């Protein structure tokens, strides 16, 4: 399949080059812009100045988190849209973000992260993990046969956890409410270097594993019956993919809060330009998601400098507008 | 059942029963299919025809009975190997994605894909090309499947199933919603496959005459059981059709192929014609007496 | 088949390792108890209350950055804004090269963690809700800024003034007071607010003092029948709320028209200095019958 492979390489090269350029631009821009030549000088001289600290300790980690989160959320979106054969599904539909938000809210309200040396993301992961476990057991133990029912249950779980979340907020003190709401709005800021690297590894591994399953995704998008008759172990593949998408989402949400829209829009956007073959769509979505989020973060940081907008707001606005424009043009 | 003892038995079903929900009910089904033969399954709506097809692929859990493919129980095959042997074309397959026809047909090669294989092999592409050539849809190759007409979609479904290179081909009402030209095209194609590739075909049809024309054997089903089976002459009788369909027919014959043909009659028309023939008799007798 | 189980195992191991890393991701923070007081030349304040205190401690000239809400005193408006209510622009703060950052628990703790990991000294001051807590915070801040004496001077002066004021209140009746902080939902001042402290010092009884949560019901207010109702100035709605209360004819406060609107800035977030003014006003509101000469006495100290 020479021609297809060539097309694959070309698409991905273009995307990777775009990503590198955007990352470079993101490194140069901030409260005060660092022009490129200065950037190179600072990097190579490794001067122990404020500029170097800002570059390496503030801007670079944000870019890394952006790549990891943007990529992982887009991946989860691609997987879920293929498994549920529903173009409106996104990583938060299954209630995982609701569970993570609930975990974080409980942690903040009961001050668990101060009394025990456990971090906030941990509670986010526990909350997300509970929801993942619930969904997985409903799916794997044949309680719910129909995948569309599973989706509905996920939506209900989302509503339930959101209501509990609101309950906790209404009973909390104003300081705590403040922290909780702020966390919910999403931010690419993560001070812990180890966590950033961990997130990056999880995200990249997720991309690798998903692309291994990309042909299976192609077959699955024909429908479960057809997939079965084409020799696919539908149950098994579905379980693996659901767990994969859930874990990717859970990680992203517990570390960076709720950054919506990325998982919904990026796969559609990629499909508009690169076709529906998941061999391309999976990895292209990863890179495009990274580009998208870094761009949005850049906007969020510089538009009303020195103040910063929460990333989630910019992704919603910018993403929505771009997508509508692209749809109308086609 | 097996007139030709030299032919190898491909599929043998004995005392199969399924009872999943009110939808899926089969009782005590037994029959065999030999290679290079075409078996037609006919019966009223809800008599379990589609269920039978699905049961053969292992899609539906069975309560009791055995299904054997090439003398091995179906359950002993793993899913992937089974799809290399048995291909099914269902009515419920929605072609609503925006995939290109040629890519869609290539997906039919999935059973042959190795775990770490990313791109399709030359072999796969050849099979897909072959499938497109045989079904004569090469001109549709770069169209999106959701933009095709009903007949074209059906041909594409068949092409995809053919790309699987099966020995047993199951089709569920492939001639539904098709014009007569397409109907004939498909059935002629199946006949060719049967002869040239020694494929065994199991086809569910509503049109009794088409079934009689193209199938070697017929199985007439009612309420999840086999009412009768055999060659068209034995199955398509006035009594059988009256009992199963509660409809009156007149047995006849296709003038060219000499295969059994049933003429449908409505009750009104039948009464009219009986009345007419009585009138004629009366007037005949009257004439004779005069 | 085998390849599936391998993939499954890889995924499970991946999940476990990642979760473990997420659990215990508290990197050891370099302990920077920079006790070189007196050499604090550049301060960044991340809360309006702290900005005010800094000026009181006569360190306003060293303030280089604050939030967009730091508007008192007027000089604070001319400083560089580096934070909003929601978050801190870390880059902007670092560019200011501060010696000390002061923050509250409301500040984004990711930002706090980041500053700590970069080796910048940052001190967090929890929100006080009574005079004693405020005094302790103030003294601590003064200590950090090297203005211990000034801090002590201000605190002691305030304490003296308070003592004078309260000494005039020995023989008064203790009116029941209800303090409303918010409407829709009805929010009362509990024991965790400055107003409560002021009410108590002014020998009033706050009917909502023992509530755990500020959300209060109108029925409870009517049942307790307070003598005075105080409503913090919430912009337009203050007047509306007052009119609503007046319509309840069974309320003592409504009958005697003792429903007053109080300045929320002064009463809910006072400074060490302005606390005395707030107390004076409170005494006036709760005990209008008292002779006013205590005001002069207090202010003269």
- b/e for A24-54, b at 16 or more Cβ within 10 A? eebbbbbbeebeeeebeebeeeeeeeebebb
Considering only the beta carbons, identify the residue of A58, A198, A212 that sits closest to C22: A198
Q: Is C43 strand, coil or helix?
A: strand
The answer to whether residues A95 and A155 touch, using CB atoms and an 8 Å cutoff, is: yes
A282-310 tens-digit pLDDT: 999 999 999 999 999 999 888 877 778 88
pLDDT band at A111 (very low <50, low <70, confident <90, very high): confident
C111-150 tens-digit pLDDT: 888 898 888 899 988 888 889 999 999 999 998 888 889 8
Q: What residue ranges in A158-278 does DSSP mark as E strands?
A: none
Cα(B278)–Cα(B276) distance, integer angstroms = 5
Considering only the beta carbons, identify the residue of A117, A179, A190 that sits closest to C26: A117
The DSSP call for residue C88 is: B
How far apart are the CA of B116 and the nearest CA of chain C, in angstroms? 9
Using the Cβ of B82 and the Cβ atoms of chain A, whether some distance falls under 8 Å is answered with yes
Contacts of B115 in chain C (CB under 8 A): 3
Q: In the A/C pair of chains, how many CB contacts fall below 8 A?
A: 129
Q: How many Cα atoms are found within 13 Å in the side-chain-facing hemisphere of B3? A: 6
Q: Is C48 strand, coil or helix?
A: helix
Cα(B289)–Cα(C2) distance, integer angstroms = 92
DSSP of B75-136, one letter per residue? Answer: GGS-HHHHHHHEEEE-TT----S--BHHHHHHHTTGGG--TT--SPPHHHHHHHHHHHHHTT
The answer to whether residues B13 and B56 touch, using CB atoms and an 8 Å cutoff, is: yes
Q: Measured between alpha carbons, how far is residue C137 from residues B45, C132, C143 in Å?
A: 84, 9, 10
- What's the pLDDT at B98? 85
Check A189 against C127: CB less than 8 A apart. no
Phi, psi of B18 (to 5 degrees): -130, 140
Cα(C254)–Cα(C248) distance, integer angstroms = 7
Check A233 against B94: CB less than 8 A apart. no
Closest-CA residue in chain A for B126?
Answer: A1
A253-274 tens-digit pLDDT: 888 888 988 999 999 999 988 8
Check C3 against B78: CB less than 8 A apart. no
A64-108 tens-digit pLDDT: 999 999 999 999 999 999 998 888 888 888 888 888 888 888 888
- b/e for A71-102, b at 16 or more Cβ within 10 A? bbbbbbbbbbbbbbbeeebbbbbbbbbbbbbb
> Pairing mode, if any, of strands B168-172 and B200-204?
parallel
Using the Cβ of A152 and the Cβ atoms of chain C, whether some distance falls under 8 Å is answered with no
Q: Measured between alpha carbons, how far is residue A235 from residues A182, A222, A228, B242 in Å?
A: 39, 15, 9, 44
Using the Cβ of A305 and the Cβ atoms of chain C, whether some distance falls under 8 Å is answered with yes
Using the Cβ of B85 and the Cβ atoms of chain A, whether some distance falls under 8 Å is answered with no
Q: Which residues is C177 bridged to in the sheet? A: C206, C228
Contacts of B116 in chain C (CB under 8 A): 3
The answer to whether residues A96 and A276 touch, using CB atoms and an 8 Å cutoff, is: no
How far apart are the CA of C13 and the nearest CA of chain B, in angstroms? 21
Cα(C30)–Cα(C13) distance, integer angstroms = 32
Who wins on pLDDT, A127 or C27?
A: A127
Mean pLDDT for A113-122 is 62
Tokens of C287: 């005990």
Contacts of A307 in chain C (CB under 8 A): 68, 81, 83-84, 89
How far apart are the CA of A34 and the nearest CA of chain C, in angstroms? 12
What chains are in contact with B, requiring at least 3 Cβ pairs below 8 Å?
Answer: A, C
Using the Cβ of A159 and the Cβ atoms of chain C, whether some distance falls under 8 Å is answered with no
What chains are in contact with C, requiring at least 3 Cβ pairs below 8 Å?
Answer: A, B
Question: Which of A115-124, A191-200, C252-261 is predicted least confidently?
Answer: A115-124
Is residue C38 over pLDDT 70?
no
Check B78 against C1: CB less than 8 A apart. yes
Mutation target to probe the A interface, by most A beta carbons within 10 A, among C3, C4, C25 is C25
Closest CA to C218 of C184, C192, C261, C195: C184
If you search the block for the tokens 């030359």, which residue do you land on? B122
User: How many other β-carbons are positioned within 10 Å of the β-carbon of residue B188?
Assistant: 11
Using the Cβ of B118 and the Cβ atoms of chain C, whether some distance falls under 8 Å is answered with no
Contacts of A5 in chain B (CB under 8 A): 119
How far apart are the CA of A14 and the nearest CA of chain C, in angstroms? 30
Mean pLDDT for C204-224 is 86
Q: Of how many residues is chain B composed?
A: 290
B173-188 tens-digit pLDDT: 988 878 888 888 888 9
Contacts of C3 in chain B (CB under 8 A): 115-116
Check A247 against C15: CB less than 8 A apart. yes
Using the Cβ of C5 and the Cβ atoms of chain A, whether some distance falls under 8 Å is answered with no
Cα(B199)–Cα(B202) distance, integer angstroms = 10
Cα(C297)–Cα(B209) distance, integer angstroms = 116
Q: Helix, strand, coil: what percent of chain C each, to 5?
A: 50, 15, 40
Considering only the beta carbons, identify the residue of A121, A178, A212 that sits closest to C25: A121
- What's the pLDDT at C27? 46
Closest-CA residue in chain C for A252?
Answer: C22
Mutation target to probe the C interface, by most C beta carbons within 10 A, among B79, B80, B114, B115 is B115
Identify the helix (H) or strand (E) that includes residue B9: strand B9-19
Is residue B3 over pLDDT 50?
no
How far apart are the CA of C42 and the nearest CA of chain A, in angstroms? 15
Using the Cβ of B79 and the Cβ atoms of chain C, whether some distance falls under 8 Å is answered with no
Check B110 against A231: CB less than 8 A apart. yes
Check B107 against A233: CB less than 8 A apart. no
Identify the helix (H) or strand (E) that includes residue B172: strand B168-172
C53-95 tens-digit pLDDT: 999 888 888 999 998 888 888 888 888 888 886 678 888 898 8
Radius of gyration of chain B (CA): 22
pLDDT band at A46 (very low <50, low <70, confident <90, very high): low
Mean pLDDT for C86-111 is 86
Residues 87-106 of A with CB under 8 A from C: none
How far apart are the CA of C10 and the nearest CA of chain B, in angstroms? 16
Using the Cβ of B116 and the Cβ atoms of chain C, whether some distance falls under 8 Å is answered with yes
- What's the pLDDT at A48? 58
Considering only the beta carbons, identify the residue of C7, C83, C94 that sits closest to A240: C7
Check B118 against A221: CB less than 8 A apart. no
User: How many other β-carbons are positioned within 10 Å of the β-carbon of residue A116?
Assistant: 10
Mean pLDDT of chain B: 87
Who wins on pLDDT, B88 or B178?
A: B88
Residue C185: is it exposed, middle or buried by C-beta count within 10 angstroms (0-12/13-18/19+)?
exposed
- What's the pLDDT at C30? 45
Using the Cβ of C191 and the Cβ atoms of chain A, whether some distance falls under 8 Å is answered with no
- What's the pLDDT at C129? 84
pLDDT band at C20 (very low <50, low <70, confident <90, very high): low
pLDDT band at C29 (very low <50, low <70, confident <90, very high): very low
Q: Measured between alpha carbons, how far is residue A257 from residues A98, B91, B105 in Å?
A: 11, 45, 43
Cα(A121)–Cα(A177) distance, integer angstroms = 17
């Amino acid at each position: 399949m020479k021609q297809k492979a060539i097309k694959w390489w070309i698409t991905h090269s273009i995307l990777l080059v775009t990503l590198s350029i955007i990352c470079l631009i993101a490194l140069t821009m901030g409260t005060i812009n660092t022009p490129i030549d200065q950037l190179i000088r600072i990097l190579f001289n490794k001067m122990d100045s404020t500029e170097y600290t800002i570059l390496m300790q503030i801007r670079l980690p944000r870019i890394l988190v952006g790549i990891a989160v943007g990529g992982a959320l887009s991946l989860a979106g691609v997987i879920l849209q293929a498994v549920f054969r529903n173009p409106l599904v996104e990583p938060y539909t299954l209630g995982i973000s609701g569970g993570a938000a609930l975990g974080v809210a409980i942690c903040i309200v009961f001050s668990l992260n101060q009394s025990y040396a456990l971090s906030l993301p941990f509670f986010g992961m526990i909350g997300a993990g509970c929801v993942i476990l619930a969904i997985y057991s409903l799916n794997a133990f044949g309680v719910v046969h129909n995948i569309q029912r599973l989706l509905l249950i996920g939506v209900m779980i989302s509503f339930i956890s959101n209501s509990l979340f609101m309950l906790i907020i209404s009973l909390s003190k104003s300081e705590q409410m403040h922290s909780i709401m702020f966390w919910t709005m999403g931010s690419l800021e993560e001070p812990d270097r180890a966590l950033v690297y961990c997130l990056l590894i999880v995200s990249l591994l997720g991309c690798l594993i998903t692309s291994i399953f990309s042909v299976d995704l192609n077959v699955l998008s024909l429908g479960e019956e057809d997939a079965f008759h084409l020799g696919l172990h539908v149950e098994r593949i579905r379980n693996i993919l659901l767990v994969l998408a859930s874990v990717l989402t859970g990680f992203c949400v517990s570390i960076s809060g709720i950054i919506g829209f990325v998982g919904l829009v990026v796969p559609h956007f990629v499909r508009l330009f690169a076709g529906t073959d998941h061999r391309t769509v999976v990895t292209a979505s990863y890179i495009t998601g990274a580009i998208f989020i870094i761009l949005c973060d850049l906007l969020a940081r510089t538009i009303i400098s020195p103040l910063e907008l929460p990333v989630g707001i910019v992704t919603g606005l910018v993403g929505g507008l771009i997508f509508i424009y692209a749809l109308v043009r086609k | 059942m097996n007139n030709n003892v030299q032919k190898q038995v491909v599929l043998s079903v004995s005392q199969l029963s399924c009872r999943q929900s009110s939808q899926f009910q089969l009782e005590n089904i037994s029959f065999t299919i030999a290679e290079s033969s075409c078996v037609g399954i006919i019966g009223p709506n809800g008599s379990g025809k589609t269920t039978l097809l699905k049961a053969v692929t292992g899609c539906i859990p069975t309560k009791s009975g055995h299904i054997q493919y090439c003398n091995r129980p179906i359950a002993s095959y793993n899913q992937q190997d089974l799809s290399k042997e048995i291909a099914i074309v269902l009515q419920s397959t929605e072609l609503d994605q925006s995939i290109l026809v040629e890519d869609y047909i290539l997906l039919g090669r999935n059973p042959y894909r190795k775990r770490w294989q990313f791109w399709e092999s030359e072999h796969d592409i050849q099979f897909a090309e072959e499938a497109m050539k045989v079904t004569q849809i090469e001109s549709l190759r770069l169209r999106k499947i959701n933009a095709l007409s009903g007949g074209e979609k059906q041909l594409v479904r068949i092409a995809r199933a053919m790309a699987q290179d099966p020995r047993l081909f199951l089709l569920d009402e492939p001639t539904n919603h098709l014009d007569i030209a397409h109907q004939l095209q498909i059935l002629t194609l199946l006949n060719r496959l049967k002869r040239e590739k020694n494929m065994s075909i199991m086809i569910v049809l509503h049109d009794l005459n088409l079934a009689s024309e193209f199938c070697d054997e017929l199985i007439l089903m009612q309420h999840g059981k086999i009412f009768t089976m055999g060659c068209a002459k034995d199955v398509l009788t006035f009594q059988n059709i009256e009992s199963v369909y509660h409809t009156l027919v007149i047995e006849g014959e296709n003038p060219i192929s000499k295969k059994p043909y049933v003429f449908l009659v409505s009750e009104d028309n039948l009464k009219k014609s009986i009345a007419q023939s009585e009138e004629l008799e009366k007037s005949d007798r009257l004439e004779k007496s005069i | 088949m085998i390849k599936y189980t391998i993939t499954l195992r890889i995924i499970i191991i991946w999940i476990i390792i990642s979760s473990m890393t997420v659990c215990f991701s508290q990197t050891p923070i370099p302990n920077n108890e920079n006790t070189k007081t007196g050499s604090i030349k550049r301060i960044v304040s991340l809360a309006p209350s702290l900005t005010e205190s800094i000026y009181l401690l006569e360190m306003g000239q060293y303030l280089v950055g604050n939030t967009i809400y730091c508007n008192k005193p007027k000089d604070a408006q001319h400083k560089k804004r580096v934070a909003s209510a929601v978050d801190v622009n870390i880059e902007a703060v670092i560019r200011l090269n501060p010696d000390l950052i002061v923050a509250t628990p409301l500040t984004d703790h990711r930002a706090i963690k980041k500053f700590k990991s970069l080796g910048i000294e940052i001190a967090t001051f929890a929100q006080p809700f009574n005079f004693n807590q405020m005094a302790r915070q103030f003294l601590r801040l003064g200590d950090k800024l090297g203005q211990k004496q000034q801090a002590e001077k201000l605190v002691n002066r305030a304490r003296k003034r308070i003592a004078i004021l309260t000494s005039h209140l020995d023989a008064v009746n203790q009116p029941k007071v209800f303090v409303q902080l918010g409407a829709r939902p009805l929010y009362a001042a509990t024991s965790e607010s400055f107003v409560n402290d002021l009410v108590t010092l002014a020998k009033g009884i706050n009917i909502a003092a023992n509530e755990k949560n500020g959300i209060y019901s109108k029925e409870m207010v009517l049942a307790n029948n307070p003598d005075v109702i105080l409503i913090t100035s919430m912009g337009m709605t203050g007047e509306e709320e007052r009119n609503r209360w007046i319509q309840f004819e069974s309320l003592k406060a409504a009958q005697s028209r003792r429903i007053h609107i109080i300045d929320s800035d002064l009463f809910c977030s006072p400074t060490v200095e302005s606390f005395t003014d707030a107390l004076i006003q409170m005494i006036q509101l709760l005990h209008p019958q008292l002779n006013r000469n205590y005001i002069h006495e207090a202010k003269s100290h």
